[in-house]
A and B are shown apart, each in its own frame.
Chain A
Amino acid sequence: MRLRVESDARTTGDVNRKFYQMQDMSMFRQTFPRAALVAAAFAVAAGPLQANPYETTLANGMKIIVKEDRRAPSVVHMVWYGVGAMDEPAGVSGIAHLLEHMMFKGTDKVGPGEFNKRVAAVGGRDNAFTSHDYTAYFQQIPSARLADVMQLEADRMSNLKITDANFKPELDVVKEERRLRTDDQPRSLVSEQLMATAFQANPYGRPIIGWMTDLDTMTAEDARKWHKTWYTPNNARLVVVGDVDHKSVFDMARKHYGAIKARPLPPRRITTEPEQLGPRETVVKAPAELPYLALAWRAPTLRDPENDRDVHALKVLAAILDGYDGARLPRRLVRENQVAVSAGAGYDGTGRGPQLFVMDGSPAAGKTVADVEAALRAEIERIQKEGVAEDELRRVKTQTVAGQVYKRDSLMGQAMEIGFLEATGLSWRDDDKLLEGIRKVTAEDVQAVARKYFTDNTLTRARLDPLPLPADAKPRATAPGARH
């Protein structure tokens, strides 16, 4: 549940193009001055779909949420497990994600690779993803084939087969994934180090993909144990969105998932991050051209959508800084003062774990990361002193209202939103409260959070110091015969 924040859309180079591709906050604003926007939002929110989504819970504890959207004969089927990288003990970082990979390796009934083949045969596609908070699996298929994928998904919840033989190559795949996405990506290394520096006790400090040194020691038994411990119906939520009747989906779920026995989950011993007592800093040296800086302040996590007003105000603050092309950071740092070639701000606020409010940027030619830091801080100070304008506030809310309509075009987007809320300790029913929370944010609220949270004692500063490439990075011909 984040404001969509896109900035720097104008640059022609790939690197500066930065997308905070966040989910739209869902809401409408009753007292919104633009009457038509309100009408549009109401038309969608208060139509015949009033009762949508529908929810039930199976006897084994598995929660089922169905949203009917009958525009096309298509359906998204997702299972969200309430386990993610933050549940990993030290020494086996990455096991949640690695198990996600192993889930495609087959069962007694379904051979290796067969899961993907069956989904493809009905015209569908499937994949999965892991975060600190959850692990989720999805298929998008013609709605007539929903029972097929439900059967497959239920089968691997209880009957997954992990052998030493199928584990080893998949571990290698995950190491390649780590090399691709982290080790060879200087900015990913910076964000990994930033998290590790900001969170020294809480598991959010460990990378989701795992430290390479932990992957080196991972065994098939670690994966089997993970599956056995956490992959239970009482730790799973089913989300179905598309051209379906909710009652028949409930029946189908009872048949396929209802037969699986619940197992008690172990206690979760997650360390709360202790109070930070002073500013922290981390530096990554890696081959790159542009220096880069990120400033991260500890920030609150949404727990009570009705009363956690600071969270809503911080979201609005992030959007006022970087929520649209003309927002403060792209306007002042990139366009007017030309201190930075890119600058941004982001805050999520939703998750099982602790949150950060991050500002970041890369200096323009002739400027330094110190200049960027001063300029980013100056924007916070300006809001601390002068507050924000009513038209900025209105603009951010307008975009949020429109986003409420736009997001209904995508089945996957709707399923993601439900699953994400549920997996982060909230409920899909909180949608309206989140809406209302943003609706109530005032200019004074934004100024108050700008004054409250941006203190050096809770700051972590992460920097990329570019290393030059060796001079021999020029193409050289190799014998084409080497091809064979």
Chain B
Amino acid sequence: MQTKPMTAFFRPNFRPFRTLLALAALLGPLASPNAAAGPDIKHWNAATGARVYFVESHALPLIDIQISFPAGSAYEPDGATGVASLTRSLLDAGTEGLNEQEIAERIADTGARIGGGADTDMATLSVRTLSSAAERDAAIALAARLLAKPTFPADILERERARAIAGLKESLTQPDTLASRRFMAMIYGSHPYGRSVTVESLQAITRDQLQAFHRTHYTAGSAAVTIVGDVSRDEADAIARQLTEDLPAGTAPAPIAAPQLPARSSEHIAHPSAQAHILMGMPGMSRDDPDYFPLLVGNYVLGGGGFVSRLTREVREKRGFAYSVSSYFMPLRVAGPFEIGLQTRGSQAEEALKVINGVLDDFVAKGPTPAELKAARDNMVNGFGLRLDSNRKILDYVGMIAFYQLPLDWLETYPKKVAAVTVESVRDAFARRVKAEHLVTVVAGGDGDNGTGSAAPAAKKAGHGK
């Protein structure tokens, strides 16, 4: 079905899983049929105050590390949108004693892969390295320097600012970007989760702001260090200490306020694309939400379960309206978005909207059928091992537990909690949490579709638009 890796020469664009499956994998189903199935997570605090989460595995000679900080966009000062991502992305632009090129070469010389980024809640730096001492020590020493001693060179800030603005302007010509920015602004209003960078906000960022943001938010006291792989517990402790020992102790950032719920509204954004990008939703649930399991299991049935979800059946399989349609809850520190999304040719956008509204209304009113609920639970419970079958996957889950300070037995208790979900608890949770009076709908684009035969080439459409 489903994907076509454009094995094309320069942009392979290889996506073995289409979007909704990737989301399902990321957000969801994780369950253990027996108590022994989860990874054995060791947790302690390093001498620096950093929280350490460690899973020992000697099957392969490699180590995966993730260091996370509450330094995502939600923690930016008012009016400084873009500071979080620019701070994170300039960590390797220069550090005490090493310039940008030397850093890049040194990373390559160790054979390590250093990655990460900033999202809504967190900023991360990840390291994948061979476990042999020379390579490991070099990679970790370098990562520690990047974290603690970035120099934020002024000329590189200017260059990256210009590139960020160019990239932003480009993305603002794309209907999916227009839709998602507007959607987040509408469901969150002035809450930090609703912010998007603008050309103006990027132009206003100063080097002082980056340094201050780094000093305040990249601290040992708020760091979570997750280590998976071929090291002993003592070595893991030494690694965590080394990665955080030159960071300030710091104080915990002010908590993020819970968002207000929006009034119901709809908007259309004109764009000469063939497809309309439709988003519908409202603020959803938090990582520690009391309704987490009923909403998660219920959403699998509604639109999170990939090809077997109701939305896919009604929108894609029955009507052929969309290649990808899904719903998801993105659990964040406070209520992250609940979002239904699809793309369909402009001429049938209205009809597709009616279908997803009908599916959602029916689901909220009645909940899943007993057979649907069983299918959801089966997938989550039986698929437990698959979601944890590599070091990288274990790192992702344990890193999430570490950042959000979820209980260490979060994975172990998952099956019980999934099993406790009933038709009634799903219906009850959706009725309370997904209310028509708060639903926001955004439709961007589709104006280039004439509704007959093939869509005209984008070029012609834009020409007419002028």
Interface residues of A (CB under 8 A from B): 9-18, 20-22, 34, 36-37, 39-40, 43-44, 71-74, 97, 100-101, 103-104, 112-113, 116-117, 120-125, 127-133, 138, 140-142, 168-177, 179-181, 183-184, 186-189, 191, 194-195, 208-209, 212-213, 215-216, 284-290, 294, 296, 323-326, 331, 334-335, 338, 341-342, 344, 346-348, 351, 355-356, 358, 360, 362, 364-365, 391, 395, 398-399, 401-402, 405-406, 408-412, 416, 466-470, 472-480, 482-484
B97 proximal to A (CB < 8 A): no
Given contacts A74-B386, A289-B166, contact A469 B462 (CB under 8 A): yes
Q: Are the CB atoms of A132 and B167 closer together than 8 Å?
A: no
A-B contact pairs, 25 of them (CB 8 A): A12-B85, A14-B167, A18-B11, A21-B14, A37-B132, A116-B306, A123-B384, A127-B21, A128-B3, A141-B386, A169-B316, A169-B317, A175-B454, A176-B343, A188-B11, A191-B11, A287-B465, A324-B107, A401-B111, A402-B135, A475-B267, A478-B268, A478-B441, A479-B266, A483-B441
Contact indicator per residue, chain B 279-315, by CB within 8 Å of chain A (1) or not (0): 0000000000000000000000000011110000100
B42 proximal to A (CB < 8 A): no
Docked CA distance A121–B373 (Å): 11
Docked CA distance A358–B156 (Å): 28
B442 proximity list for chain A (CB < 8 A)? 475
Q: Are the CB atoms of B385 and A73 closer together than 8 Å?
A: yes
Docked CA distance A338–B24 (Å): 40
Docked CA distance A288–B173 (Å): 6
B4 proximity list for chain A (CB < 8 A)? 97, 100, 129-131, 177, 181, 208-209
- The residue of chain B having its C-beta at the shortest distance from the C-beta of A117 within the complex is B308
How many A-B Cβ pairs are below 8 Å? 419
B202 proximity list for chain A (CB < 8 A)? 12
Q: Which of B59, B132, B458 has the largest count of A CB atoms less than 10 A from its CB?
A: B458
- The residue of chain B having its C-beta at the shortest distance from the C-beta of A12 within the complex is B164
A335 proximity list for chain B (CB < 8 A)? 100-101, 156, 159
| Interface-facing stretch out of B87-95, B213-221, B247-255 | B87-95
**In the complex, which of the residues A14, A130, A180 contacts B324, with contact meaning CB atoms closer than 8 Å?**
A180
Q: Are the CB atoms of B159 and A184 closer together than 8 Å?
A: no
Q: Are the CB atoms of A287 and B269 closer together than 8 Å?
A: no
Docked CA distance A344–B115 (Å): 19
B384 proximity list for chain A (CB < 8 A)? 123
B171 proximity list for chain A (CB < 8 A)? 13-15
Docked CA distance A410–B386 (Å): 11
Q: Are the CB atoms of B108 and A123 closer together than 8 Å?
A: no
Q: Are the CB atoms of A129 and B5 closer together than 8 Å?
A: yes
Shortest Cβ distance from residue A395 to the other chain B in the assembled complex, whole angstroms: 5
Given contacts A36-B130, A351-B7, contact A184 B274 (CB under 8 A): yes
- The residue of chain B having its C-beta at the shortest distance from the C-beta of A73 within the complex is B385
Q: Are the CB atoms of A125 and B10 closer together than 8 Å?
A: no
Question: Interface majority SS on A: helix, strand, loop or mixed?
Answer: mixed
Interface residues of B (CB under 8 A from A): 1-14, 16-18, 21, 24-25, 57, 59-62, 82, 85-86, 89-90, 92-93, 100-101, 103-105, 107-113, 115, 128-135, 156, 159-160, 162-175, 177-178, 182, 197, 202, 264-275, 305-308, 313, 316-324, 343-345, 350, 353-354, 357, 375, 378-386, 388-392, 436, 439, 441-443, 445, 453-455, 457-459, 461-463, 465-466
Docked CA distance A289–B177 (Å): 13
- The residue of chain B having its C-beta at the shortest distance from the C-beta of A344 within the complex is B10
Q: Are the CB atoms of A470 and B272 closer together than 8 Å?
A: yes
Given contacts A121-B378, A133-B7, contact A34 B134 (CB under 8 A): yes
Q: Which of A113, A142, A475 has the largest count of B CB atoms less than 10 A from its CB?
A: A475
A286 proximity list for chain B (CB < 8 A)? 458-459, 462
A401 proximity list for chain B (CB < 8 A)? 111
Closest 10 CB pairs of A and B: A13-B167, A123-B382, A326-B104, A172-B320, A123-B383, A402-B111, A169-B320, A72-B389, A470-B465, A36-B132
**In the complex, which of the residues A11, A324, A405 contacts B167, with contact meaning CB atoms closer than 8 Å?**
A11
Q: Are the CB atoms of A191 and B12 closer together than 8 Å?
A: no
B174 proximity list for chain A (CB < 8 A)? 15, 184
Given contacts A10-B160, A113-B307, A479-B266, contact A467 B343 (CB under 8 A): no
Q: Are the CB atoms of A129 and B10 closer together than 8 Å?
A: no
A347 proximity list for chain B (CB < 8 A)? 9
Given contacts A22-B12, A294-B10, A483-B439, contact A398 B324 (CB under 8 A): no
**In the complex, which of the residues B8, B108, B170, B390 contacts A290, with contact meaning CB atoms closer than 8 Å?**
B170
B264 proximity list for chain A (CB < 8 A)? 480, 483
A216 proximity list for chain B (CB < 8 A)? 453-454
- The residue of chain A having its C-beta at the shortest distance from the C-beta of B39 within the complex is A72
Given contacts A9-B115, A40-B130, A289-B172, contact A473 B59 (CB under 8 A): no
Q: Are the CB atoms of A358 and B9 closer together than 8 Å?
A: yes
Docked CA distance A62–B313 (Å): 34
Q: Are the CB atoms of B104 and A325 closer together than 8 Å?
A: yes
**In the complex, which of the residues B101, B133, B318 contacts A36, with contact meaning CB atoms closer than 8 Å?**
B133
A186 proximity list for chain B (CB < 8 A)? 458
Q: Are the CB atoms of B343 and A180 closer together than 8 Å?
A: yes
Q: Are the CB atoms of B2 and A398 closer together than 8 Å?
A: no
A288 proximity list for chain B (CB < 8 A)? 170, 173
Given contacts A13-B163, A409-B390, contact A37 B111 (CB under 8 A): yes
Docked CA distance A168–B317 (Å): 10
A402 proximity list for chain B (CB < 8 A)? 111-113, 129-130, 135
Given contacts A176-B344, A289-B172, contact A140 B386 (CB under 8 A): yes
- The residue of chain B having its C-beta at the shortest distance from the C-beta of A138 within the complex is B16
B18 proximity list for chain A (CB < 8 A)? 127
Q: Are the CB atoms of A183 and B134 closer together than 8 Å?
A: no
Docked CA distance A215–B4 (Å): 15
Besides A184-B458, A287-B458, A469-B271, 9 more A-B contacts (Cβ < 8 Å) are A44-B61, A129-B5, A140-B386, A296-B9, A326-B104, A358-B9, A364-B166, A416-B16, A476-B267
Shortest Cβ distance from residue A404 to the other chain B in the assembled complex, whole angstroms: 10
Q: Which of A15, A168, A184, A401 has the largest count of B CB atoms less than 10 A from its CB?
A: A184
Q: Are the CB atoms of A179 and B275 closer together than 8 Å?
A: yes
Q: Are the CB atoms of B388 and A483 closer together than 8 Å?
A: no
Q: Are the CB atoms of B455 and A179 closer together than 8 Å?
A: yes
Shortest Cβ distance from residue A46 to the other chain B in the assembled complex, whole angstroms: 12
Q: Are the CB atoms of B6 and A208 closer together than 8 Å?
A: yes
Q: Are the CB atoms of A475 and B90 closer together than 8 Å?
A: no
Given contacts A395-B105, A409-B392, contact A40 B61 (CB under 8 A): yes
Q: Are the CB atoms of A213 and B105 closer together than 8 Å?
A: no
A120 proximity list for chain B (CB < 8 A)? 305-308, 375, 378-379
Docked CA distance A297–B174 (Å): 30
Docked CA distance A465–B220 (Å): 48
Given contacts A125-B21, A169-B319, contact A399 B108 (CB under 8 A): yes
